[in-house]
Amino acid sequence: MKQLIWNVDPILLHLGPLKVHWYGLLFAGGLLAGYWMIRRICKLEGENPEILEPLFLYVVVGIVVGARLAHCLFYEPDYYLAHPLEILMVWKGGLASHGGLVGAFLGLWLGSRKYHVPFAWIVSRLTIPTLFVASMIRLGNLFNSEILGKPTDAATAIVFSRVDSLPRHPVMLYESTAYFLTFLLSILIYRLAPREKLTTLLPGVGLTCVFGARIVLERYKVPQADYATGLPLNVGQLLSLPFLLLGIVLILLSFRTRSAS
């Protein structure tokens, strides 16, 4: 079977010295779409959408800082501890989604305290746009030909010719699809579940589906860490496990609350 050859330039436009990357466009577009979604949710629930503007900055800064630190310290610690100033060079690439999520939580916690927004409420409602943003980011990874899968002869294999001539699992597409399907599921839950259950149910389902998928799909990836764990699980799977367990706990809490009501 002839595999798809992927040779798309990661740079969409050259505007003089300025380069517009597909990754940056999808990341920024996902964030703007997510911002529109959470504003709509605020209006549907009678909340003031103006509270989102200062929180948005906290979230974006938290995502970038958390994702960068997690990549440097968990995936390439030897290199970045020897070159600590390069941790600041975000434009060179290297962001870890696990750290981005923790950074987003911390940013939201700080912002919600300052602007008196219920933390549990905003976290649960942000689950929906966050899943969409995650799906767009993985599409950006496709345009960068990064987060590659292991060589395979599967029907879904793609040759990333900017990297090598081997047909590989397009793991970034697998992840993007999993995140987008979870995004659709979260919308369905938001529409059908009682509002008082959403605080635990929405983030619980999001965490369980996303990090359950990550644990499964990591086995198809080329190892991203520059060291081995010596365990049956790789670094990505180990980092995903606490989020998966937290998601399961939140889902169980939502059912417990329901049965008691």
pLDDT for res 180 = 98
pLDDT for res 40 = 93
Average pLDDT, stretch 185-207? 95
Looking from the CA of 23 toward its CB, the CA atoms found within 13 Å total 18
The 10 Å CB-count burial string (b at 16+, else e) for 113-122 is eeeebeeeeb
Percent of the chain with pLDDT over 70: 94
Structure tokens at 227: 């060291």
- Residue 259, pLDDT > 70, answer no
Closest CA to 175 of 249, 92, 236: 236
CA dist 98 and 49 (Å) reads 28
Looking from the CA of 7 toward its CB, the CA atoms found within 13 Å total 7
Strand order in the sheet with 158-160: 4-6, 158-160, 167-168
Kindly report the pTM of this predicted structure.
0.86
**Residue ranges covered by each domain of the chain:** 4-260
Number of H helices, E strands in the chain: 8, 5
Q: Which residue has the tokens 């635990």?
A: 200
20 strand-pairing partners: 13
Residue 248 Cα distances to 123, 226, 234, 242, angstroms? 16, 30, 21, 10
Structure tokens at 16: 């003089």
Residue 194: pLDDT band (50, 70, 90) is: very high
pLDDT per residue as tens digits for the range 203-253: 999 999 999 999 999 999 988 765 666 678 888 899 899 999 999 999 999
